[in-house]
A = this chain, B = another copy of it.
Amino acid sequence: MKIATTIKEVRKQVADWKREGLTVGLVPTMGALHEGHASLVDTAKEQCDRVVTSVFVNPTQFAAGEDLDAYPRDFDRDCGVLEAHGCDLVFHPSVEEMYPEGAATFVELRSDMTKQLCGKSRPEHFCGVCTVVSKLFHIAMPDKAFFGEKDAQQLAVIRQMTRDLLFGIEIVGCPTKREEDGLAKSSRNAYLDAEERKAAGILYQAICKAQEYLKEHLDTEDGKTESQPVTELIKDIIGTEPLAEIDYVDAVDGMSLLPADRIGDGDLIALAVNIGKTRLIDNFTVRK
């Protein structure tokens, strides 16, 4: 496994691979890798000849007061994970490499999609994501790029950006990996103390109950049901956990991410909950 810190090195390696007719998969990450990331690399290995993983904590997707400085960083450990999963090239640039002095160009999806869910409390977040992902696409020129379904809104935004800007890159979403109690794997889980970690299990418990509810309540005719009882059910369950403070529990159209009064196959239920000072997100797609 090669490690590159400069754009030039990545371009050269990718150009060499392309000349050999090899396909390239890109797994963009912010490091602090867990099994979710590892599964992205595994999927990329299955679908592409060569896999590039970027490890870069992108400052422009954090707002002032968010956890940019605290975000966990352990590059040596990350390299161990990536090597074990057959990653071919790790790209670990400095902030200056990704944002040259005076850099002021941004990529922005100007649609209501970015104003829902996490966009309500993080209005600049997805512009930062689109900007850095565009840069990574320009550097690695992948055939496919792999993102976790845990960040459902990020995945939807990147899908649309990639389509809108005619990148010609296939975006592949990969299922959420979970801990034994169902908590979605996240680098931010490291912030939780023992008590909070236990409390965090309430998110998945609520999701499971909502899925059970939906199994019984999807209308036999149009395959849909009112969304409010489902989101209320989730809110009620999470409300039983004293350490949990709900940011949002929303039911949205699976394509546009706009609020949906009735939901059915393919639509999304997404939630953000603060456990202590740690903001956790999770979601599931409604299935018939």
Contacts and interface: CB of A to CB of B under 8 A. Distances in A.
Contacts of A100: 163-164, 166
Contact of A105 (B11, B21, B99, B107): B107
A138 to B, nearest CB: 5
A254 to B, nearest CB: 15
Copies in the complex: 2
Contacts of A107: 105-108, 134, 165
Interface residues of A, number: 33
A167 interface: yes
Contacts of A141: 141
A161 B111 contact: no
Interface of A: 7, 11, 18-19, 21, 98-100, 102-111, 130-131, 134-135, 138-139, 141, 160-161, 163-168
Contacts of A160: 102, 104-105
9 contacts: A11-B168, A100-B164, A104-B109, A105-B108, A107-B107, A108-B108, A138-B167, A138-B168, A139-B166
Given A107-B107, A109-B105, A7 B166 contact: yes
